[in-house]
Structure 1
Amino acid sequence: MSKVLVIEDDEMLNAGLCYNLQKKQIEVKEAYSLADARRILEQGHYDLALLDVNLPDGDGFSFARELEEQYHLPFIFLTAHNLDEEVLYGFKLGADEYITKPFNIKIVMERIQAVLRRLKIQDAENEKKQYVCGSLAIDFEQRTVWKKGELLSLTPTEYNLLEFFCKNRGQVLTKELLLENIWDSKGNYVNEHALTLNISRLRSKIEEEEESYIKTIYGMGYQWIGGERKK
C-alpha cells in the first residue's frame, strides 16, 4: 500500500484529500504545517508528499529542497499560484506534479495515482540496477560492490556469484544450478570444489563478524539471507 503525506493547512481541504486517497486504498497522514511534516517524516517513510506552497510556518518551495535532500521524498505541489513562472519554478525544484486550486478532486486523484504508479516503476528499475543489504551496496550496472563505504575487490567469478545470489535472494540454489548459471553459460567448466572455494572466498570478503549473507543448506546448496544477524 502506498503512503502519502498531505501537508496542507486548510483543514477542510486536507480532510477531503485524505478521505479520497483512503478510498483509493492509499495510506495517508495529515500535516498542517512544516513543523508537523518534519515530525512525521522523522517517524517513518512515505512514498509521496502533497505539499501546499503557502503554510503558516514557511513556504513549500523552500521545504521542497529539504524533502529532496534530507528525506528523498517525491512531492506534488498544491497551490493557488498558477503563474507560468511559479509553475516552471516548481518543476525546476523537482516536483512530480503541480496542481493549482481550485481543482476537480476526481482529476487530482487520477494525477496522484499516475505519479505513484510512475514512482513504483522507477523504484523497480532502480532495484534492478542497485541493491543495498546490510553493510553492502551493489551496483549491478557498474559491477561494483561497496562494504561500509569501501570498494571491495572481487574476482569476476566472485562478483558473478554475488549477483546471482542477490537476484535470487531467499531461494535455495543447488550447486548444479550455480555451476550452470555462473560458468556453463560462459562455456567454461568448473567443478564443485572450485565452486565451494569461490563461495568461501566471497564470504570472507563480504561477511562481518555479526552479519551473515550466504547460508549453507546441507545436502541441497546455498541460500542468500542478506545480512542476517549471527546468533
Structure 2
Amino acid sequence: DLIFPHHENELAQSSCAHGGATFAQVWMHNGFLTMNKEKMAKSVGNVVAIHELLEKYRGEAIRLALLSAHYRQPLDWSDETILQAWRRLDNLYDFLDSIENVKSTEVDPPTAFTKTLMDDLNTPKALAVLSDMVGPSAVKLASQNPAKAKSELQAAGKLLGILQEKPDTWLRAGPDRDEIQALVDERERARSTKNFSKADEIRSMLTDRKIEVRDRLGSPPRWLRRAATRV
C-alpha cells in the first residue's frame, strides 16, 4: 500500500483539487493502523470512525493515543491503547491539579521537549519528556518553583493539543460528582471524630467505584476518578 506510486498519486490528485497550486511544503504519511493486530480496512469491517470513538472516549485521550507511536511506525489500536493514553493524561492533569492555585505565565516549552519534535517529529520521545516532567524527581524540583513547572508543562501540552481542560473537570467530572464529594466529606468528618471504622468503610465504597482519595496534611482530601471508570 505504501509503495510507488501511492504517495505520488495522492500528491497529484490533491494538487489538482486545489487548482494545481502548491499548498504544502512537507508531505507526510503515517504508518499502518491496525486493530487488535489486524489491518484496519473496510473490507474486514474493523474500521472505527472518530465520531464513534468520541462517544466512548475523550478527545485528548484519542489524540494522545495517536501520538504514542512515531508517525513512520505502525500503531495497533485497541481499548488498551486509549486507556494507556488516558492514564498518562490523568498523571499530567493530576500534577496540574496539585498546583491549581499557582499562577502560570506564557513561556516556551522546555528545550528537551522541543528537541524531540525537531527530531523527525518524535512524539513518543516528546511524551516521555512530559512524563519525566511530572515524575518524582521533577515534582520535588517543582516544589521550589511551581509556577515555572506549571507554565512549562502547559506550554508543552499546548504544542501537542493536550492539557486544554481544567484539571478539576478532567479528573472529577461526572453525573455523580456531588454524590462522590458528599461521601468524601462524610469520610473526612468520620476521621475528624476518630471514627476510623466508618472512614475505612466509606473509603472502601469509593475504591469499589474506582475513586482514589488522597489525604493531605492540613488540607481537605483530594479525589479523582481512575481512567478505567470513564470508559
Whether these two folds match at TM > 0.5 is no
Q: Which has the higher helix share?
A: 2
Greater radius of gyration (CA): 1
Q: TM-score, normalised by structure 2?
A: 0.24
Bigger relative contact order (CA 8 A; separation at least 6): 2
Q: TM-score, normalised by structure 1?
A: 0.24
